Amino acid sequence: SQPPPPMPKVGVAVFLLKGNKVLLGRRLSSVGRNTFALPGGHLEFGESFEECAAREVKEETGLEIEKTEYLTVTNNVFSQEAKATHIVCVFMRAVPADINQQPQNLEPEKCDGWDWYDWDDLPKPLFGPLEIMLQHGFSPFPTT
Ligand code: 8DG
Ligand code: MG
Ligand code: MG
Tens-place pLDDT, residues 64-97: 999 999 999 999 999 988 889 999 999 999 999 9
Is the distance from the beta carbon of residue 41 to the nearest atom of ligand 1 less than 6 Å? yes
Which of the listed residues 76, 106, 107, 138 should we mutate to test ligand 1's pocket, taking the one with most ligand atoms within 8 A of CB?
A: 76
Q: Hey, whose CA ends up nearest to atom 16 of ligand 1?
A: 11
**Gap from CA of 5 to ligand 2 centroid (Å):** 24
Which pairing describes strands 9-18 and 85-96: parallel, antiparallel, or unpaired? Answer: parallel
Is the distance from the beta carbon of residue 38 to the nearest atom of ligand 1 less than 6 Å? yes
Radius of gyration (Cα) for the chain, nearest Å?
15
ipTM above 0.95, yes or no: yes
Spatial CB neighbours of 27, under 8 Å, sequence gap ≥ 6: 33, 34, 35, 36, 37, 110, 111, 112, 127
- pLDDT of the residue at 83: 86
Q: What is the DSSP string of 44-70?
A: PTT--HHHHHHHHHHHHH---EEEEEE
Percent over 90 (pLDDT), the chain:
90
Closest C-alpha to 17, from 125, 93, 123: 93
**Gap from CA of 39 to ligand 3 centroid (Å):** 5
> Coil, helix or strand for 87?
strand
118 band by pLDDT with thresholds 50, 70 and 90 = very high
- pLDDT of the residue at 144: 73
| Residue 129, pLDDT above cutoff 90 | yes
Average pLDDT, the chain: 96
**Gap from CA of 16 to ligand 1 centroid (Å):** 14
- pLDDT of the residue at 125: 98
- Read off the pLDDT of residues 22-55 as tens digits, 9 standing for 90 and up: 999 999 999 999 999 999 999 999 999 999 999 9
- pLDDT of the residue at 4: 86
**Gap from CA of 60 to ligand 3 centroid (Å):** 7
| Residue 1, pLDDT above cutoff 90 | no
- pLDDT of the residue at 81: 82
Distance CA 9, CA 87 (A): 5
